[in-house]
Structure 1
Amino acid sequence: MATLTRRQRFPFPEIPDWFETIPSRLTMPAVRIEDYLEEGRYVLRAELPGMAPEDIDVVIGDGVLTVQAERTEREVDKSHSEIRYGEMSRSVTLPPGADEDDVKADYTNGMLTVSVGLGVEKAEARHVEIQHGS
């Protein structure tokens, strides 16, 4: 006796592929950075290849430096693409003593370099004598 098996077809074949890419669809790609101190300045370098300078925004305030950028997808028929499109952002906490009024930014060859002066000295922590009544 022959056994009949029914092969069930999934009505939306592209949905399993879509689920595989959920993390990249739901999370904003991060800007890749490196940071260091050099000549009395905090320096942050961000890798932003293929961006136009007008697509990059640097915001500083409340002790935080934020780099935002947006890469627009080209409207062509692609057979394969590993390039990330859309908005990208990265925020870092500035080191103590950062002078938010002394900021310089340069974008050359796909690398954004932002430097912040470290001229504002903060006093070291000290013990305070507690007075007590008699």
Structure 2
Amino acid sequence: MPMSFDPFNSLDRLTEDLINFRPGARFMPVDLYLDGDHYVLNADLPGIDPGSVDVDVDGQLLTIRAQRTAATQENSKWLTNERPSGTFLRQFSLGRGVEPDQISASYNNGVLSVIVPVSEKAKPRKIEIARSDSEQKSLNV
């Protein structure tokens, strides 16, 4: 079946490529939420080899880096090439209220999940209110 040329589709793709052009590292979409006593960060990395994923913490900076290599076949001619390849990178500033030594990560079905525990010092707690002796006496009179 012969392929037809669609100028509007080509213009849409060119416009999108120009708007989303970022030299260097590629963008990875993430979700971040607080679940009880830990933060959960889910990053979409479909088609990424788990061995190329790197998560590290340097002080208060969490860095996620991954690499996707473009598939190449000998004697092949690209008809369309929409899946980005290269390095994907995101960095997050961690607050002082987390436990960086307790961070864990897992990779399943193209989603990297990073669990960042909240430190005991940052968790909400009740403060007991003490009464002074003069208030205590006036209450007993």
Query: TM-score, with normalisation over the residues of structure 1?
Result: 0.69
What's the offset of the Cα at 1:83?
0.5
**Number of the residue aligned with 1:93:** 93
Query: Gaps spanning 5+ residues in structure 1: where?
Result: 1-16, 123-134
**Number of the residue aligned with 1:104:** 104
What's the offset of the Cα at 1:112?
0.4
CA separation of 1:92/1:81 partners in 2, compared to 1, >3 Å: closer, same or farther?
A: same
Query: What does 1:1-134 correspond to in 2, within 5 Å?
Result: 24=21, 26-76=23-73, 77-121=77-121
Number of aligned residues: 104
Q: CA RMSD in A?
A: 2.1
- Matched-pair contact (CA < 8 Å) for 1:71–1:86: yes
**Number of the residue aligned with 1:129:** none
Instruction: Give the distance between the partners of 2:44 and 2:101, measured in 1 at CA.
Output: 24
The list of structure 1 runs, each at least 4 consecutive aligned residues, that deviate by more than 3 angstroms after superposition, is 20-23
Query: TM-score, with normalisation over the residues of structure 2?
Result: 0.66
- Matched-pair contact (CA < 8 Å) for 1:42–1:95: no
What's the offset of the Cα at 1:89?
0.0
2:66 match: secondary structure: strand
- Matched-pair contact (CA < 8 Å) for 2:49–2:67: no
Q: Which amino acid aligns with 2:49?
A: A
Instruction: Give the distance between the partners of 1:40 and 1:21, measured in 2 at CA.
Output: 41
